[in-house]
Amino acid sequence: MSEPREIPVHIIESLKSLGLTKYEALVYIGLLRVAGATATEIHEISGVPRASVYPVLDRLMQKSLVSVSHTSPKRFNATPPDDGIDSLMHRIEEDAAQAREALTAIYREKAEEHRADQEFIWSIYGQENIQGRLTDLIRNAGKEIRMVANWNLLSETILPLLRQARGAIAVEVVTDFWEGEVPEGVAVHVHRHCMKHEQCENHPPMENAGVFIVDGAKVLVWMGSSGEETSALYSESPGFVQFFSRYWTNIRDWVKLSNQ
């Protein structure tokens, strides 16, 4: 019988975020390795105390991750990983749907004080989070979007968004490089410090950076502070918007000029 072999912790963690406990994860994994095992065998394989194995198996059965044979001694079997995880995800997605509904209801009936979005400057942390917010912003744009952004960010995140979600929205872009086709309805100003993109690496690898002005009313400033966690500012404050509108116009005019 194989010893309680070392299980990578990150698997346990993944399973935990699917709603399992450490023991449940260990037992389930153990049962995947040895089908039709007895409680004692499971104990040996997984390293989980024998006495704890029984309640854990009960919970796993409720979650449909194991089935049991009513022999003596009882033997247990794991449902295949794909089925098992599907089952877990199904539960979670139900909860997500419920939460979505309930929270949207709450969200709609909130006091309509717009001070929140209008007067303040909000910070957002983390690549994914910023990207998500930006996605939202572009999708809900009404008339026009002006932006300064480096090519990396532009090509990987922004362009795909523009391609699908834009319906008669004017887009004006200032960037440091361009390659490939320019989508219809998009005006591009390139300030080439160099001819090939790879050569631009004297500028430190500012991973993602850009300013996005939507409908002259909303601004998102993405600061790719290389090294630390990236962060972004978002605001609908008129002063903030005006400041970056001017900043953007300056940049664009300067680039146009230097390209002549």
Partner DNA sequence: TAAATGTTGTTACGACAAAAACAACAATGG
Partner DNA sequence: CCATTGTTGTTTTTGTCGTAACAACATTTA
Binding region for DNA (CB under 7 A): 21-24, 38-40, 48-52, 54-56, 72-74
The verdict on 121 binding a second copy (CB under 8 A) reads yes
- Tokens 């998102």 correspond to 220
Is 128 a binding residue for a second copy by CB under 8 A? The answer is: yes
Pairing relationship of beta strands 231-235 and 218-223 according to DSSP bridges: antiparallel
Look at residue 161 and give the partner it binds from DNA, a second copy, none, a contact being a CB closer than 5 to 8 Å depending on partner kind: none
Picked from DNA, a second copy, none, the partner binding residue 38 (CB below 5 to 8 A depending on kind) is DNA
Q: Where are the beta strands (DSSP E) in 103-192?
A: 121-125, 144-149, 170-175, 186-190
Q: Which does 24 bind (CB under 5 to 8 A by kind): DNA, a second copy, none?
A: DNA
Long-range interactions of 29-33: CB distance < 8 A, separation 24+: 30/4, 31/66, 31/76, 31/77, 31/78, 32/78, 32/81, 33/2
Distance from C-alpha of 5 to C-alpha of 25, rounded to nearest angstrom: 14
Contact flag: residue 100 with a second copy (CB under 8 A): yes
Per the omega criterion (within 30 degrees of 0), is the bond before 204 cis?
A: no
- Residue placing its CB nearer to DNA in the complex, 52 or 245: 52
Which of 181/228 has CB closer to a second copy? Answer: 228
Site for a second copy in 166-205 (CB under 8 A): none
What separation in angstroms does the CA of 53 have from each of 14, 38, 251?
Answer: 21, 10, 66
Residues of this chain, 46-75, that bind a second copy according to CB under 8 A: 61-62, 64, 67-71, 75
Q: Does 3 bind a second copy (CB under 8 A)?
A: no
Q: How far is the CB of 59 from DNA (least distance, A)?
A: 8
- Under 8 Å CB-to-CB from 23, ≥6 apart: which residues? 48, 52, 56
Residue from 50, 91, 163, 256 in contact with a second copy (CB under 8 A): 91
